[in-house]
A and B are shown apart, each in its own frame.
Chain A
C-alpha cells in the first residue's frame, strides 16, 4: 500500500483534478448502488408501500414538495430517488457484466487471432471489420428486436457488439509481443502454446485491456439506456435508469420533468465519472492508445 502511495501513478493521480473528480463520482455511485436500498425509505417495487395519494409530487424544494420524497414521485407515488437507487444497480450491473463477458470472449478471440494467425485470424478479423463498419447501437437494436428483450438478452447483445474492441486490441498487442525474443526463447525451451499465452502474452496485453474496459463500461451503460428507452431493453419490472427516463417521457408534456430529468442526470454522472477516470488511465497506462 505504501508502495502504491509513493508510486508515480498515484503522484500523477493526486495532481489530476479531473481524475480525482471522476473517481469520487464513481465511489459515490458505488456506495449508492450497494448501500442505497438501506438508505431510501421506500422499496419502489413493493406495491404495498406505494401511496397513489402521493403521485406526481415535485422535488422537495419546489412548492408542494414532500420532505419524504427528496426528488419527487412518479404517477404511482413511487419515490424518484428510490427508483434511481434501484435503477442504478441494474444499469451498473449490466454495464459491468457486459464488460466482463465481452472482455473474456473478445480477449480469447484476439489471442487466437494474434497468436495463431492464419485462417482463424482472417475469419475473426474479417467479422470484426464488417461489424465495425456498422454502429454498435444499430447492431444491438437489431439483435434485441430479433431475439426479444430482457436483461439476459441485453447482455448478449452488448457482448455481441463489444467483443470486437477487445479482440482488436488484444490481437494488436499479441502480435507485438510474440515477435519479441523471449517468446521465441520460450518456444525453443519447449513451452506449450497454452503456457506461453498464459504466462507471457496475457500479462503483457493486460494494460490496454484495463483502459479499454473502463471506457467500455460507460459505452455499455449508454447503449443499454438507449435500448431500454426504445422499449427493447430491460423489462418494466426491473427498470434501469434508461427505462425510468422513458417512463417519464409521457408526462413530460404536462410539465412533470423530475421523473425523467433525475434518472438521466444520474446516467450522465455515472458515465462522466467513468470517462474522466478512463481518460486518466489511458494517458497514464498507455499514452499511445487512443
Chain B
C-alpha cells in the first residue's frame, strides 16, 4: 500500500511537471507580457528595464527555472491587472466555484443513479426508453444555452430567481460560503442546475449500462433465490457492482464540471475562479492564467488519485499493487 501510494505520488509530480512545461512554453509564445505592466508612453529604455525586471531578457530555459523555482517557493506571481498575488486572487474565488461544482455533482448523482438503476433494471419499459431519450438529449444540449434559457424563464419572464452573483454569504471557518443562507440557495440553483445537466445525463447512461450488465449475472438471480426484496437486490447487490464504472466517470465528470464552470460562471456572473480565468484571458493577465491552470491540474491529478483509492474500497478484487 505504501509503495503504491509513493508510486502514485511520483506519477502525480511527473504529470504536474509536464503540465508546468507545457503551460510555460505556451505562455512564452503568446505575445509580450511586458506591455501589460508598463505605461503606454514608456520609452524604449523603460521597456528594456521592465523586461530585465521581469526576467524576460534571459534564455527560455533559465526563465523556466525561475518560473518553477518561484512556484516551488510559493511565489506564483502577481496579477498584472489586480496587482495582487495571483494565487491569493484564485484562492479567494475558489470556494464559490467548489460550492457550485459540489452542488451540481450532488444534484446530478442524486438524480442520475436512481434513474439509471431503474432504466437498467427495466430496459424495455416505456419509462426507461423515455429516460434514455431524455439523457441523450441532455448530452446534446449546449450548457450555456440551457443556462440562458433558465435565466430567461426564471429571471426575466417570471422573476422568481436571481440571475447573477452569489447572494448573501457567511463566513464558515474563514471561507465565504453561500449555501448556508436562503438567498445563497436562491442564487446557486440555476447555475448548478445548468452545470449539472450534462453530467447527470452521462452518469445516468453509465449507471444504466453497468446495471444492465450486472442484471445478467448469476449472483443477482441467486440473491432473488435467497428471497431478498427487489429493492435490496437492485441497490445492494446490483448497484455496488455497477458503481465501478460510475466511479471512473465521477472523477472525470468532476473535472469536466470545473472546466464548464468557466462558462456557467460567465453566464451567471458567479464570482468564482472560472469567471476569473475568462476575464484574465480577455485581459491577457498571464500570471492568473498560469496559476489557474497549475491549480486545476493539481486538482485533477488529486481527483484521479482519489478515484483509484475509492475503487479498492468498492471492489475487493482490485488490490493495490
**A130 to B304 CA separation, bound complex (whole angstroms):** 11
Q: Of B19, B157, B255, which is in contact with the most chain A CB atoms at under 10 Å from its CB?
A: B255
Considering only CB atoms and an 8 Å cut-off, how many residues of chain A contact the other chain? Answer: 43
Contact (Cβ within 8 A) B151 A252: yes
Contact (Cβ within 8 A) A276 B136: yes
Interface string of A113-149 (1 = CB under 8 A from B): 0000000000000000010011101100111011110
**A261 to B153 CA separation, bound complex (whole angstroms):** 11
**A253 to B157 CA separation, bound complex (whole angstroms):** 9
- Say how far A261's CB is from chain B's closest CB, in angstroms: 6
Question: Is B13's CB within 8 Å of the partner chain A?
Answer: no
**Cβ of A264: which chain B residues have Cβ within 8 Å of it?**
142, 145, 148-149
Question: Is B29's CB within 8 Å of the partner chain A?
Answer: yes
Question: Is A167's CB within 8 Å of the partner chain B?
Answer: no
Interface string of B244-283 (1 = CB under 8 A from A): 0000000010011011101100110000000000100110
Closest to A129 in B: B15
Question: Is B152's CB within 8 Å of the partner chain A?
Answer: yes
Contact (Cβ within 8 A) A145 B281: yes
Question: Is A218's CB within 8 Å of the partner chain B?
Answer: yes
Contacts known (A255-B156, A290-B209); A279 close to B136, Cβ less than 8 A = yes
Interface of B is mostly: helix
Q: Name the one of A18, A133, A246, A261 contacting B255, with C-beta atoms under 8 angstroms.
A: A133
**Cβ of A145: which chain B residues have Cβ within 8 Å of it?**
30, 281, 289
Closest to B136 in A: A275
**A214 to B263 CA separation, bound complex (whole angstroms):** 25
Contacts known (A230-B262, A230-B263, A257-B152); A268 close to B140, Cβ less than 8 A = yes
Closest to A143 in B: B26
Contact (Cβ within 8 A) B137 A272: yes
Q: Which of B87-95, B185-193, B293-301 contacts A (4 or more CB under 8 A)?
A: B293-301
**Cβ of B157: which chain A residues have Cβ within 8 Å of it?**
255
Interface string of A39-80 (1 = CB under 8 A from B): 000000000000000000000000000000000000000000
Question: Is A85's CB within 8 Å of the partner chain B?
Answer: no
Contact (Cβ within 8 A) A229 B263: yes
Q: Name the one of A141, A245, A253 contacting B259, with C-beta atoms under 8 angstroms.
A: A141
Contact (Cβ within 8 A) B263 A147: no
**A276 to B281 CA separation, bound complex (whole angstroms):** 36
Contact (Cβ within 8 A) B141 A226: no
**Cβ of B151: which chain A residues have Cβ within 8 Å of it?**
252-253
- Say how far A220's CB is from chain B's closest CB, in angstroms: 13
**Cβ of A229: which chain B residues have Cβ within 8 Å of it?**
142, 144, 263
**Cβ of A111: which chain B residues have Cβ within 8 Å of it?**
none
Interface string of A254-278 (1 = CB under 8 A from B): 0101001100100110011011100
Question: Is A231's CB within 8 Å of the partner chain B?
Answer: yes
Interface residues of B in 148-194 (CB under 8 A from A): 148-149, 151-152, 156-157, 163
- Say how far A201's CB is from chain B's closest CB, in angstroms: 29
Q: Name the one of B141, B148, B256, B267 contacting A137, with C-beta atoms under 8 angstroms.
A: B256
**A226 to B267 CA separation, bound complex (whole angstroms):** 12
**A271 to B139 CA separation, bound complex (whole angstroms):** 9
Contact (Cβ within 8 A) A135 B137: no
Question: Is B106's CB within 8 Å of the partner chain A?
Answer: no
Q: Name the one of B278, B289, B304 contacting A133, with C-beta atoms under 8 angstroms.
A: B304
Interface residues of A in 223-265 (CB under 8 A from B): 225-226, 229-232, 242, 245-246, 248-249, 252-253, 255, 257, 260-261, 264
Closest to B27 in A: A146
Q: Of A142, A143, A264, A279, which is in contact with the most chain B CB atoms at under 10 Å from its CB?
A: A142
Question: Is B143's CB within 8 Å of the partner chain A?
Answer: yes
**A255 to B133 CA separation, bound complex (whole angstroms):** 31
Q: Name the one of B15, B142, B256, B282 contacting A245, with C-beta atoms under 8 angstroms.
A: B142
Question: Is B18's CB within 8 Å of the partner chain A?
Answer: yes
**Cβ of A230: which chain B residues have Cβ within 8 Å of it?**
262-263, 266, 278
Closest to A140 in B: B259
- Say how far A107's CB is from chain B's closest CB, in angstroms: 23
Q: Name the one of B145, B148, B296, B301 contacting A138, with C-beta atoms under 8 angstroms.
A: B296
**Cβ of A90: which chain B residues have Cβ within 8 Å of it?**
none
Contact (Cβ within 8 A) B30 A252: no
Contact (Cβ within 8 A) B255 A135: yes
**A225 to B148 CA separation, bound complex (whole angstroms):** 14
Question: Is A151's CB within 8 Å of the partner chain B?
Answer: no
Question: Is A222's CB within 8 Å of the partner chain B?
Answer: yes
**A246 to B263 CA separation, bound complex (whole angstroms):** 11
Contact (Cβ within 8 A) A133 B15: yes
Which B residues have a C-beta under 8 Å from some C-beta of A?
Answer: 15, 18-19, 26-27, 29-30, 133, 136-137, 139-145, 148-149, 151-152, 156-157, 163, 209, 252, 255-256, 258-260, 262-263, 266-267, 278, 281-282, 289, 293, 296-297, 300-301, 304
Which A residues have a C-beta under 8 Å from some C-beta of B?
Answer: 18, 130, 133-135, 137-138, 141-143, 145-148, 218, 222, 225-226, 229-232, 242, 245-246, 248-249, 252-253, 255, 257, 260-261, 264, 267-268, 271-272, 274-276, 279, 290
Closest 4 CB pairs of A and B: A264-B145, A135-B259, A272-B140, A138-B259
Could you list 11 examples of A-B contacts with CB < 8 Å?
A135-B259, A137-B259, A138-B259, A146-B29, A245-B148, A246-B144, A257-B149, A257-B152, A268-B141, A268-B142, A275-B140
Q: Kindly list 9 other residue pairs between chains A and B, CB separation below 8 angstroms, not including A253-B163, A260-B148.
A: A130-B19, A133-B301, A134-B297, A226-B260, A230-B262, A252-B152, A261-B149, A268-B140, A275-B136
